[in-house]
Structure 1
Amino acid sequence: MAKSKIVFFCQECGFESAKWMGQCPACKAWNTFVEEPTVPKNSRGAKASPKEIASAVPTRLSQVSLQSQPRTLTGIGELDRVLGGGIVKGSLVLVGGDPGIGKSTLLLQMCRLLAQKSVPLLYISGEESLQQIKMRAQRLGNFEKDMMMLCETDLDIVEGVVRKYKPEIVIIDSIQTMYRQEIASAPGSVSQVRESTGVLMQLAKGLDITIFIVGHVTKEGVVAGPRVLEHMVDTVLYFEGDRHASYRLLRAVKNRFGSTNEIGVFEMGGGGLTQVTNPSEYMLNGRPQEASGSVVSCAMEGTRPILIEVQALVCRTNFNMPRRTAAGTDYNRVNLLMAVLEKRLGLPLDNCDCYVNIAGGMRLNEPAIDLAIVCAIISSYKNFAVSPKTIMFGEVGLTGEVRAVNMVEQRVAEAKKLGFSMCLVPQVNLKNVSGISGITVIGISSVQDVLKYIKG
């Protein structure tokens, strides 16, 4: 029998080391190494046989034929959008997020809709009993057709059941509860999670079935997070948002079968998750009409334009060093834009506290919202309200120029649909929106030009 040895794994990225280190050399995280026993494989038994080696023949690229396989629609439009148009057969999908954010609820709602289409399903839970799953399913609605359920944490048993019944879609809730008896470490450790995911990947590719894996993420990093698995799966979906708030954002950070820029917006209610088909209207709900420091901008999330409210509060500071805070956007970007205002417009912001917030809980790093941040800071500093029917977007450079952004037509069309009458766009993009009527589009070349349009 092979002798076990002790190695150290990073809980954030899975880096393996023979000794403990304070900082991981791969992901640069501190105090993330944990000690785990491993059993090395027998090198003689791990070798492939001559027959297996002879059967492995490389294939030329020109000889590979592409057969378009139709995707399976889940019935949840926001989920289909993030997946790239539906479920791809033989794919391995990781759904990550904080505990209680709504991962299991979303997948159970998906199972309910797919069961109505007579799609063979298997829901494997390692956290809840069958009665608990039944109670949660009743809150989501009536299941017109049954789906198979299994409460098991032993991966060998799970593998045998999947090979026996061969469902089209399998849900593993969650990967942190699965374990293999050959691995000496506890369930949820890096070794167990990585080994379990490897077995599930072989099942998905070998049986041509789709497997959804639920992975928990904690801020403390106590359990192995989904970052260890991102390179092994085909698609990584993250649920974002505050668990105490009603909104949820589903974002694809990796997708081999679609775009990684799409997001899905949901609202958590008593009956489960509800799709938000018009996120712009949802994000602007409750926006003040005649308040200084409030400006509306348009950000692109994939192919979807979303109108968001940018808020700024500028006030005199009582301390030697003013305080700067940014919620929902890059803190360093806000400091850069404030330096541009001090240099190009002569605003004395060096003795002012500044707080910038993206309302609605969105997290945006797109440069197109620079112009809105600048105007919100000016509006709050000079204490005047920007017209509630005005929207603006554009990237601001260090010399104060307003630079071009992409997909201008879609942004202006979304603003027109929600009733905005004036849109401030970069001057170089003005030619791209000449055919849109019903809204006044004005080109801005620098931050000095924007003052005469927002004071009214």
Structure 2
Amino acid sequence: MAKAKGTVFFCQNCGYESAKWQGQCPGCHEWNTFVEEPAAPKKSAAAKGGRAPVSGPGTEPVRLSEIRADESERTSSGMAELDRVLGGGIVSGSLILVGGDPGIGKSTLLLQVCRDLVNRKHTVLYISGEESARQLKLRAQRVGRFEEELMVLCETNLDTICEVLQRQKPEFVVIDSIQTMYSEEVASAPGSVSQVRQATGVFMQIAKGMGITVFLVGHVTKEGVVAGPRVLEHMVDTVLYFEGDRHAAYRILRGVKNRFGSTNEIGVFEMRDTGLVEVENPSEYMLSGKLENASGSVVACSMEGTRPVLVEIQALVCQSNLPMPRRTTAGTDFNRVNLLLAVLEKRAGIRLSSCDVYVNIAGGIKMTEPAIDLGLILALVSSYKDIAVDEKLIAFGEVGLSGEIRAVNMAKQRVDEARKLGFTTVLMPEVSVRSVGKIPGLKIVGLKTVREAVFYILSGEDSGLPFST
């Protein structure tokens, strides 16, 4: 494909620039990601009379020993779940990207954060490129009372926004959304690869140069990633994804990148007519509605950062009339389930090759930690044999290809969470039993192989297992 005069081609995935269209991107090796856009002008912004470079306290080099420790102190957002995902609070001068499906609650979450910050005497500027000031006012009335005034700016021009920020110098800024911002220096439409990259670069200079914390709202594509070049996620300090069904009540805030904390933490919220409400104990709501004496249902424990989360794993195994049996998963990895089915057939003699298999993680949460392998195995066997598992039993452990049950990290925290919620029996890797010890009122059964786990479920006893405490 020939290149039109004054245009270049950008990869939508990584931002790679090419003078001609290419089927495969040389940078990220993805196919059919190049789009044609007008070339950026060679003239600098200063020469054109545009934005002046953003200056701040970080423009001169300083010795590391001269930097005060309190310069990186965190500010609470007013929401414990958000603080947990951020690693303990908001770091001054950081650039935070919040992505999610339309209508999932991104703007509502940040508006509630703005409310809590201004009520604690912080200066916050909310810049909206999608809603009018009247629309923001109506939504603000639903999320609670603003004891102090929140500054609002409805603007999409980067030059105008930079002038306002240099004049007002707020502590926190919310950009809703980054895909609506545009620069007159870039001759392409808002939301294009060039505009998104330019806007993110400008806000990064503002955050680092002026010490302003900037929240960016980003739309996601149908594949579930933030729209625009992948370099956008590399430029920011923190990437948060808001997950869940917009028609369901619960939302999961997951950190997928965080330069100031763990990338495995999650925050759980419930959407109500007054806004988002924090769910302090996700395990309770994940297990709510669980049927008693139902086959194919097992409770497993997964660690999300430092938080143990108990989830109900549901499996349905039935004889198939199709030449190729169905395999369907929701909330967990499809390939991992197929691997465990092969392990069950080879190492435990459970023939499932002619059966349809459906696996679901109840509650709408997605779990991919290998520690739920043992729970998946037990749920599959329970459904296949139509034997109900004790409702007060919980299982966790990684399953290897040889049928061994491997150790998992933070076993003590998982067992403590199970005891707190009233479980009486724990099936876990035998090698992790010693690190947990004996706990009054809790029966701990250590397992070495998948065959032992199947024996326990089918027999209902551990007489043949020497690892019970």
Task: With the length of structure 1 as denominator, give the TM-score of the two structures.
Answer: 0.93
The number of residue pairs the alignment matches comes to 444
Q: Distance in 1 between matches of 2:81 and 2:128?
A: 24
- The answer to which of 14-23 and 219-228 deviates more is 219-228
The 1:5/1:81 distance shift into structure 2, 3 A limit, reads same
* Structure 2 counterpart of 1:192, one-letter code: Q
Aligned to 2:432: 429
Which deviations, in whole Å up to 9, do the C-alpha atoms of 1:88-115 show, x marking residues without a partner?
A: 1111111111111111000000011111
Aligned to 1:27: 28
Q: Does 1:361 align with 2:364?
A: yes
Aligned to 2:19: 18
Which deviations, in whole Å up to 9, do the C-alpha atoms of 1:269-303 show, x marking residues without a partner?
A: 11111101000001111111111100000000000
Of the candidates 363, 388, 405, which is equivalent to residue 385 of structure 1? 388
Aligned to 1:98: 101
- Structure 2 contact 283–309 (Cα < 8 Å) conserved: yes
* Structure 2 counterpart of 1:439, one-letter code: L
Of the candidates 315, 323, 333, which is equivalent to residue 312 of structure 1? 315
Q: Distance in 2 between matches of 1:450 and 1:221?
A: 36
Q: Does 1:67 align with 2:86?
A: no
* Structure 2 counterpart of 1:32, one-letter code: T
* Alpha-carbon offset, residue 326 of structure 1: 1.7
* Alpha-carbon offset, residue 189 of structure 1: 0.5
Aligned to 2:120: 117
* Structure 2 counterpart of 1:272, one-letter code: G
Q: Distance in 1 between matches of 2:411 and 2:341?
A: 25
Q: Distance in 1 between matches of 2:27 and 2:356?
A: 37
Partner of 1:68, secondary structure, is: helix
Q: Distance in 2 between matches of 1:257 and 1:444?
A: 37
Q: Distance in 2 between matches of 1:283 and 1:130?
A: 38
* Alpha-carbon offset, residue 231 of structure 1: 1.1
Partner of 1:449, secondary structure, is: helix
Q: Distance in 1 between matches of 2:416 and 2:61?
A: 51
Partner of 1:448, secondary structure, is: helix
Partner of 1:41, secondary structure, is: coil
Partner of 2:235, secondary structure, is: coil
- Structure 1 contact 93–211 (Cα < 8 Å) conserved: yes
Q: Distance in 1 between matches of 2:363 and 2:343?
A: 27
Partner of 2:75, secondary structure, is: coil
* Structure 1 counterpart of 2:69, one-letter code: Q
Aligned to 2:242: 239
Q: Distance in 2 between matches of 1:222 and 1:401?
A: 36
1:28-43 equivalence runs, <5 A: 28-42=29-43
Which deviations, in whole Å up to 9, do the C-alpha atoms of 1:119-153 show, x marking residues without a partner?
A: 00100001000000000011111211111101001
Q: Does 1:441 align with 2:444?
A: yes
- Structure 1 contact 12–221 (Cα < 8 Å) conserved: no
- Structure 1 contact 11–223 (Cα < 8 Å) conserved: no
* Structure 2 counterpart of 1:24, one-letter code: C
* Structure 2 counterpart of 1:394, one-letter code: G
Q: Distance in 1 between matches of 2:287 and 2:226?
A: 37
Partner of 2:69, secondary structure, is: coil
Gaps of 5+ in 2: 48-58, 461-469
1:70-219 equivalence runs, <5 A: 70-219=73-222
- Structure 2 contact 95–216 (Cα < 8 Å) conserved: yes
Q: Distance in 1 between matches of 2:360 and 2:216?
A: 34
Which deviations, in whole Å up to 9, do the C-alpha atoms of 1:53-82 show, x marking residues without a partner?
A: xxx997676x55452332110110000111
Which deviations, in whole Å up to 9, do the C-alpha atoms of 1:317-363 show, x marking residues without a partner?
A: 10111111121111111111111111122122111111111111221
CA RMSD after TM alignment:
2.1
Q: Distance in 2 between matches of 1:235 and 1:223?
A: 13
Partner of 2:189, secondary structure, is: coil
Gaps of 5+ in 1: 47-55
Which deviations, in whole Å up to 9, do the C-alpha atoms of 1:222-256 show, x marking residues without a partner?
A: 99437331111111111111112111111111111
- Structure 2 contact 318–356 (Cα < 8 Å) conserved: yes
- Structure 1 contact 4–38 (Cα < 8 Å) conserved: no
Q: Distance in 1 between matches of 2:223 and 2:91?
A: 34
Percent identity, aligned pairs only? 66
- Structure 1 contact 217–226 (Cα < 8 Å) conserved: no
Partner of 1:231, secondary structure, is: helix
- Structure 1 contact 310–373 (Cα < 8 Å) conserved: yes
* Alpha-carbon offset, residue 453 of structure 1: 3.0
Of the candidates 309, 326, 329, which is equivalent to residue 326 of structure 1? 329
* Structure 2 counterpart of 1:229, one-letter code: L
* Alpha-carbon offset, residue 215 of structure 1: 0.7
1:408-423 equivalence runs, <5 A: 408-423=411-426
Q: Does 1:450 align with 2:449?
A: no
- Structure 2 contact 332–367 (Cα < 8 Å) conserved: yes
- Structure 1 contact 393–424 (Cα < 8 Å) conserved: yes
- Structure 2 contact 348–454 (Cα < 8 Å) conserved: no
Q: Does 1:402 align with 2:396?
A: no
- Structure 1 contact 32–221 (Cα < 8 Å) conserved: no
Q: Does 1:258 align with 2:261?
A: yes
Q: Distance in 2 between matches of 1:200 and 1:398?
A: 48
Aligned to 1:349: 352
Aligned to 1:340: 343
- The answer to which of 237-246 and 129-138 deviates more is 237-246
Q: Distance in 1 between matches of 2:267 and 2:189?
A: 35
Q: Distance in 2 between matches of 1:143 and 1:435?
A: 51
